[in-house]
Amino acid sequence: MKLLEERILSQGQAVNEHILKVDGFINHQVDPLLMGEIGREFARHFRGQGITKVATIESSGIAPAVFTALELSVPLLILKKQPSKVLNTDLYQTQVTSFTKGTSYELTLSQKFVSDQDHVLIIDDFLANGEAATGAIRLLRLAHATIAGLGIVIEKSFQPGRGKLLEQGIHVYSLARIARMGENFIEFVEE
């Protein structure tokens, strides 16, 4: 998505060759006009596949996911991060390791909001090692929901996430794919 790539080049900051900061327009201060375009693009790509819900992982996936859910006119499920296992029989839970923080958390979903009738599109801001997305898929499959695909705003293609998801048979659609980056440069995958 040209518009997104231009914003990443003008306002993104590669902290080092692994971490990209986009907190001026995606995950701290949010540009609603750009998010509107992102939601429309995900909806255009995934429309007509019988999607019943959009799901994301709190918190930075919420902005792109809400605009996508709005475009598809379906509810948004926010998968919650909890520090440790909560003993509650009404919840699905699975453990995920965070790439940015190097910590683990329990991804949690209330049983009442998902069923075997759901066909779910997962949206997230970044794809790095694919742990968050794999956790979301595991959690939704505990509820016997089916997965329509994964929509990613920024994929760091030099990390193993995409490969891991493709191995699981998941369709991945990323709006910007970074081939490599460093302190003064960001290069996109040529498609």
Alpha helices in the chain (DSSP H): 2-11, 32-46, 62-72, 131-142, 161-167
| Minimum distance from residue 80 beta carbon to ligand 5GP (Å) | 14
| Cβ-proximal residues to 163 (8 Å cutoff; 6+ apart), any chain | 130
Query: Within 162-181, which residues bind ligand 5GP (CB under 6 A)?
Result: none
Report the C-alpha gap between 184 and 191 in whole angstroms. 23
Site for ligand 5GP in 38-57 (CB under 6 A): 57
Is residue 128 a contact residue for ligand 5GP (CB under 6 A)?
Answer: yes
* Cβ 155 vs Cβ 178: under 8 Å: yes
- Asked if residue 161 binds ligand 5GP (CB under 6 A), the reply is yes
Minimum CB separation of residue 116 from ligand 5GP in Å reads: 26
- Return the residue matching tokens 């965070």: 98
Q: Which stretch binds ligand 5GP (CB under 6 A): 19-27, 44-52, 63-71, 167-175?
A: 19-27
Q: 3-class DSSP state for residue 126?
A: strand
Told to check if 95 binds ligand 5GP by CB under 6 A, we report no
Q: Identify whether the C-beta of residue 54 lies closer than 8 Å to the C-beta of residue 91.
A: no
Residue choice 19, 30, 78, 143 for contact with ligand 5GP (CB under 6 A) = 19
Q: Are 38 and 153 in contact (CB under 8 A)?
A: yes
Between residues 46 and 99, which has the closer beta carbon with respect to ligand 5GP? 99
Inter-helix orientation angle 32-46/2-11, to 10°: 140
Q: Work out whether 129 is an interface residue with ligand 5GP (CB under 6 A).
A: yes
Among 126, 150, 151, 172, binds ligand 5GP (CB under 6 A): 126
Residues in a beta bridge with 173? 151
**CB 50 → ligand 5GP: shortest distance, Å?**
26
Token pair, residue 88, equals 């509650």
Indicate which single residue of 35, 51, 53, 60 sits in contact with ligand 5GP (rule: CB under 6 A): 60
Per CB under 6 A, does 151 bind ligand 5GP?
no
Q: Which residues contact ligand 5GP (rule: CB under 6 A)?
A: 19-21, 27, 57, 60, 99-100, 124-133, 161
